[in-house]
Each structure stands twice: as C-alpha cells, then as structure tokens.
Structure 1
Amino acid sequence: MSGKIIRIEGRQRVEDIVFTGGIDSLAGLYHNRSIQVTCITCAYEWYPAKWVLKERLRNRQQKFDHEKRWKTAFYKAVELDDRNEAARLLEKERAHLFTQMGIRRAYYTLKKEDRSSLIFMASFMVLCLSLVAGLLFGFAT
C-alpha cells in the first residue's frame, strides 16, 4: 500500500501551505506513517511522521542526559561541600527548590526522586517480564 505523495516547493514552508488552504493535505501528516513528502527543486524525500518521532526521541534523550549531568554535578558539589557551585546549579535548574528548601533539603528531595523513579522502572520491568513469561509459557501448554 503506497501512501500519498505531497510535493513541496524548495522555499515554501509548511506555514505557507497552511495559510493557503492546504490544511487537508497536512492534517494527515502527523499520524499517517505512509505519507511521503518530496521537494520539487531537489527531489529529497522524507516521511514526516518518522521525522517527528525521531525528533521527539532525540529531544527526550537530550533532556534526560542534561538532567543526569546537572544532577550528578549538583550531588558532587553538595558532597564536597562546595556551596557556591551547588547553589548555582540548583538555582539555574530548579530555582523553586532552591528558594523553598535550600541546598541540603533539595539534595535529599532530588535523591528521593531518583530512588522513586528507579523503583518504578524496576517494578515496571518485572511486570513486563512476568507478562511476557506468562504469555510464552501460556502458549506452550
């Protein structure tokens, strides 16, 4: 089954299409994975739905990496009793924790969040593995 092919002029932006009445053609771009967009000037082809999913995954991974880096630096600063660095990091990333709790309480709160998310992820993995094992052994009998 082949999808729709939408051709877009090289300099024409998506906003131009929307404002000129091409809403029907763009409405299916998000959920339909089989729509292919082709540039008329350079013949480059892409699938918008795949691009959107890839961008979301990349953004989520960047956010996760950034969170991990600043928390690691914050924990290290608190453990080494470098109050200036800890305050700078906390004020930059989570100012509300800095103003409401201070450095020490924010440290324990963030550590508690990390433990809770780790416990949740481990519980979820155990649940998934037990479901898969139940399905595999359920079909085997």
Structure 2
Amino acid sequence: QAETTAALLTALHDDAWQVREEAATTLGKLRAAESRDALIEALGDAYWQVRLRALRALGQIGDAASATHVAALLSHPISNVRKEAALALGEIGETSDAQMLTALEAARTDADPEVRKAVRIALAQIAGRIR
C-alpha cells in the first residue's frame, strides 16, 4: 500500500483538478493516515471539488489533528463544502476539541438547510462518543 499511497500523494499535485479530486477520494477510502498533511494542504485547492473530497478523506481517516483545518471550512462560500466539513467533523469526533464544537454550534444557524442537517448529524455523532 505504501507505493499506492505515494503515487496518490503525487497525484494530489497534478495539473488536472479531476486527478487531484480522485486522489483525495482514494486516499480517504484507503484511510491512509500518512496522507493527512497533504490532504490538509488540499483543503486550499483552487477547485472546491478537490476541497470537498479532501474533507471527506480527512473524515474517513479520523485524525483529530485535522479538526481545526476542517472546521475552518464551515464558513466556506459554497454550501456543499460547508456541509462536507460538518460531516467530516462528526467523523473525526474529537470531543475534547472545544474550538471544533464551538464552530459546529455556530454553524447550526447556517443559511442552507442541508448544512444545518449535517451539523446536527455531526453533533449527534460526537455526543454518541461522549456517553
């Protein structure tokens, strides 16, 4: 799997955004924890589709160190990105991260009902881990 992960990490810097998007998707499916930093970097990609897939991958990996970076995208102008950020935070579910919980609580009033629903799901996932 190391060779595959290395190739996917290289693909995260491809000129074609579709290749970067698929690389992020596959890294998430592999739950390649060593790709965390590259996926965090991909959260700043010029294409929102790549950002969305990087968020999803970080959620699948579940590394609490990425929570702050993921939470920052709860205020992204594109609602699909905000929704995916909320869902990723629910999967990461770091109950001791007060900043993450505060960001999710603030997103409860998002203008988009799908984002609000994702926030409720995320908070429920996190609350389930506290019990």
Structure 2 length-normalised TM: 0.25
Bigger fraction of residues in helix: 2
Report which of the two structures shows the higher radius of gyration computed on alpha carbons.
Answer: 1
Q: TM-score, normalised by structure 1?
A: 0.24
